[in-house]
Amino acid sequence: MRRVLDYIDRHLDDDLSLETLSGIAAFSKFHFHRQFTASYGLSVHRYVQLARLKRASHQLAYMNTRSVTDIAMEAGYDAPDAFARAFQKRFGQSPSSFRKSPKWKPWLSALGPLDEVRSKLMKKIFSDDDVTIRNVPTTRVATMEHRGDTATLGSTIQRFIAWRRAAGLHPKTNPTFNVWRSERRPVSPADYSVDLCVGTDEQVEANGAEIRVGEIPGGRCAVLRVAGNTSNLEPAALYLYRDWLPTSGEEARDFPIYCQRLSFFPDVPEHEAVAELFLPLR
């Protein structure tokens, strides 16, 4: 079953029929369908549809250069109206409405079953061998702050991407960082806090966006590389704080844990997304 999930992730644009996937699992298609549903709590058809619609929703929200028709075809639909009906059914919005003003809470709820399966698939046990200590340079950054419920984070990300695109700060030329100022799930959702940052040595224009200029200080850092489910880096952060740090003989520096995002979903398949987590040390 894990082999099937991995195959789906790597072949979202290909034939993912019941016959194909049951062959990957080495099951008869009748037993495979029942076994998949029993293992993951949703049918293989729904899993594939949700995986494709998740990618499509990211493309709609964050990649305005892609047309709705192109996104629909890539999601496996022969016509935009069929894609629109499926999208509306799952997320409660049409694709064009979602592109203009996404309603993130229904979106998060609809993708809950998919993300639960993916979290199990991508769960990784870290060890001391996965952690390296580096001396990193000080990085000057332009920052957009997000303060408030994580359900509204997607809207902040949209504004950040739109601003950096207008400023010509492409991820291939200017590194992307997240600096966490709070726990992932604070007692009050309104207390969630994260900085969205882009590295740049050039003068930047805010152009109406809420942008401030600062820096991520250099120095020694414990670094943990994570591939796959980089939308949730909490397990990696907990490993560094709870398991690695107490036995390392090191002491944390007075700067929050942060990450650099090296490759992004949906630019790459979700299992190929890569981030490096940095724990500043004295």
163-184, pLDDT tens digit by residue?
A: 999 999 999 899 999 999 998 8
Number of domains in the chain: 2
- The CB density around residue 157, as the number of other CB atoms within 10 Å, is 18
Average pLDDT, integer, range 54-59: 94
Q: Is the pLDDT of residue 121 over 70?
A: no
Percent of the chain having pLDDT more than 90?
Answer: 61
Section 34-60 average pLDDT: 92
Average pLDDT value for residue range 231-258: 94
Domain's final residue, options 121, 155, 183: 121
pLDDT for residue 40 is more than 80? yes
* 105 and 218 belong to one structural domain: no
Residues 75 and 56: beta-carbon distance below 8 Å = yes
User: Which pLDDT score, from 0 to 100, does residue 65 have?
Assistant: 77
User: What is the span of the domain harbouring residue 274?
Assistant: 128-280
Q: Which of 281, 230, 227, 273 is nearest to 257 (CA)?
A: 281
**Is 271 a residue whose pLDDT tops 90?**
no
Q: Which residues of 213-231 are buried (b: 16+ CB within 10 A; e: fewer)?
A: eeebeebebbbbebebbbe
Query: Is it the case that residue 86 has pLDDT exceeding 90?
Result: yes
Are both 180 and 108 inside the same structural domain?
Answer: no
The pLDDT value recorded for residue 140 is 97
Residues 132 and 257 in one domain: yes
Residues 77 and 184 in one domain: no
Q: Are residues 150 and 273 in the same domain?
A: yes
CATH of the domain at 230: 3.20.80.10
What does the pLDDT read at residue 56? 94
Of 121, 147, 176, the one marking the end of a domain is 121
H helical segments located in 92-193: 95-100, 104-110, 112-121, 153-166
End position of a domain, from candidates 88, 121, 154:
121
264 with 255: CB under 8 angstroms? Answer: no
The answer to whether residues 25 and 104 belong to one domain is yes
CATH of the domain at 71: 1.10.10.60
Same domain, 110 and 148: no
* Residues 102 and 194 occupy one common structural domain: no
Give the residue from 213, 101, 216, 218 showing the smallest Cα distance to 167: 213
Residue 230 scores a pLDDT above 90: no
Residues 80 and 143 in one domain: no
Residues 239 and 117 occupy one common structural domain: no
> 14-28, 64-78, 108-122, 203-217: which has the minimum mean pLDDT?
108-122
Please report the pLDDT score of residue 122 as a whole number. Answer: 59
pLDDT over 70 at 123, yes or no:
no
Same domain, 94 and 142: no
On average, the pLDDT of the chain sits at 91
Tell me: do 159 and 267 sit in the same domain: yes
In whole angstroms, give the CA distance from residue 4 to residue 45.
13
Residue in the block written with tokens 């929050």: 256
Please report, in angstroms and rounded to a whole number, the separation of the first and last CA atoms in the chain.
44
Is it the case that residue 252 has pLDDT exceeding 90?
yes
pLDDT number for residue 139: 97
Radius of gyration of the chain (CA): 20
Over 80: is that where the pLDDT of 119 sits? no
